[in-house]
Amino acid sequence: MSEPVAIQGCKETGRRRFLTRLSIILGSVSAAFVAIPSIGFLLGLRKSPRVWRTVGKLDDFKIGSTVNVSFEDTSPLPWSGVTAQTAAWLRRENDQQFIAFSTICTHLGCPVRWLADADLFMCPCHGGVFYGDGRVASGPPPKPLNQYPVRVYEGRVQILTSPAPIA
Ligand code: FES
């Protein structure tokens, strides 16, 4: 025996209303999952911790030399793997003084290379050139290479991590 048409229509309307509400709720939850972290990022609410990372022993570095050092990022995630590694160009000025330059060009963010013979940093993307002290020598970069704070602590050279500067 079939149900009267009025009862079938009522069930159909109730199901449709339920599915509509379910879609709205699931859509809202999904939107919140995306929006909340994005808004936090845009407002700068999520601060990365700044940590001193050891890049070598004091004796590992010759005075006057600039070498590439790598260290773990400021806030590695458990699944970051090798992408948690970042790098800097470390220059030993004298006995206790170092300068750590970001490897990121201040123009559009390409990695700069150190040319020891020329005493210059060179950016391969658009020909940006920086002096050995990080100042712009020529090309499109608008400002000097960014620097990380460096310290010598108990015979070890340490760099203060910070988020990679975005050009
Ligand atoms: S990104 Fe380095 S010169 Fe353009």
Distance 109 CA to ligand 1 centre (A): 6
Ligand 1: residues within 6 Å at CB? 105, 107-110, 123, 125-126, 128, 139-141
Note the pTM of the prediction, 2 decimals: 0.72
Q: What is the predicted pLDDT for the residue at 3? A: 61
Q: How far apart, in Å, are the Cα atoms of 157 and each of 29, 54, 77, 152?
A: 47, 6, 24, 5
Distance 122 CA to ligand 1 centre (A): 9
Residue whose CB lies within 8 A of the most ligand 1 atoms, among 101, 103, 108, for a mutation test: 108
Q: What is the predicted pLDDT for the residue at 4? A: 65
Q: Which ligand 1 atom sits closest to the C-alpha of 167?
A: 1
User: Which residues, other chains included, contact 145 with Cβ-Cβ below 8 Å and sequence gap of 6+?
Assistant: 89, 101, 102, 104, 105, 106, 112, 121, 130, 134
Q: Are 165 and 147 in contact (CB under 8 A)?
A: no
Domain ranges of the chain: 1-46, 52-160
Q: Does domain 52-160 have CATH number 3.30.499.10?
A: no
pLDDT along the chain (167 residues), means of 10: 64 88 94 83 71 93 95 78 87 94 95 96 97 96 95 94 64
